Amino acid sequence: MGLSFPVGEARSFWLGPFVRYFQIVGRNSASFDSRDARTIVLGISLETGTRLERSSYVEPTRSWWPSKPRLPTRAPTATATAWPDDMDACPDMRGPASNVGCPIYEKVVVKPDKLELREKIQFAWNQAVIESVSYPALDEVAKALQDNRGFRVAIEGHASSEGADDHNQSLSSHRAEAVLEYVANHGVARDRLVSKGFSSSRPTESNLTQSGREANRRVEFVVHFIILKEGGLQ
């Protein structure tokens, strides 16, 4: 047994005393002394080794869009009503901790990685024409982007598996472009927006049911962040 203590701030060396007890059991023999041998060894040990460090997690990114920086997080306290703007998902606006520090909107939920609509965007049947019933929701999307100037949004169009894939690809792309045009025409700079269609390649539900196909025909807003060279949010 023994004790050891770290040497230096790096803690790469450990120094300390030790005591070891050995007992060697002898075999019966008539030709030599076969009694058990007992030995106590006193000494000072010096141990060294390298420290292990955990590798940092690298978030997978989309190949067609700049990577999103990982935001610092802080657990809210019981009495906290808002996070500082530099510690939440909406650095440009103040909001409650229960909403990740983002303002609360009626039809839009601001999340760290996307804008989630509380209602589905409606289009004319088999067309890229937005129905007027969806204008209020898209108006609020534009308002959320105006409030949070550090957001850059990828507008993604998705289709169900009905019909030919080339038709679904074209329809999903044109619907995403229509949403981009609407948001851009309501005060959001075009260089903060990009659109892309994914046809039926990313279903959220089964295409075997009517409700599943309806859910898969959708437009999503994926949020990224604009970072200036000096390190601040635009």
- Determine the Cα–Cα distance for residues 148 and 103; give it in Å rounded to an integer: 10
Question: 90 near 103, Cβ under 8 Å?
Answer: yes
pLDDT at 17 over 70: yes
Higher pLDDT, 6 or 193: 193
Which residues lie below 8 Å from residue 184, measured CB to CB, with a gap of 6+?
190, 193
Domains contained in the chain, CATH given: 5-48 (no CATH), 105-225 (3.30.1330.60)
HEC assignment per residue over 200-217: CCCCCCCCCCHHHHHHHC
Q: How far is CA 194 from CA 3, 67, 72, 189, in A?
A: 63, 14, 26, 11
pTM of the model: 0.58
Rounded CA gap, 128 and 231, in Å? 38
172-194 b/e (C-beta count within 10 Å ≥ 16 → b): bbbbbbbbbbbbbeeebeeebbb
Q: Return the half-sphere exposure (C-beta side, CA atoms, 13 A cut-off) of residue 150.
A: 21
pLDDT for residue 10 is more than 70? no
Residues 6+ apart with CB under 8 A from 48: 12, 13, 14
What percent of the chain stands above pLDDT 70? 58
DSSP 4: -
Type of residue numbered 27: R
The answer, yes or no, to whether residue 77 has pLDDT greater than 80, is no
The tokens of 135 are what? 């204008």
Q: What is the pLDDT of residues 36-63, one digit of tens each?
A: 667 676 777 766 655 444 444 344 444 4
Strands 151-158, 108-110: pairing kind: unpaired
Q: What is the tens place of the pLDDT at every residue in 222-234?
A: 887 644 333 333 3
CA 116 – CA 221 distance, rounded (Å)? 7
140's CB contacts (< 8 A; 6+ apart) are 105, 106, 107, 108
Task: Dump pLDDT digits (tens) for 140-175.
Answer: 999 999 998 888 999 999 999 988 999 999 999 999
CA distance 74 to 88: 8
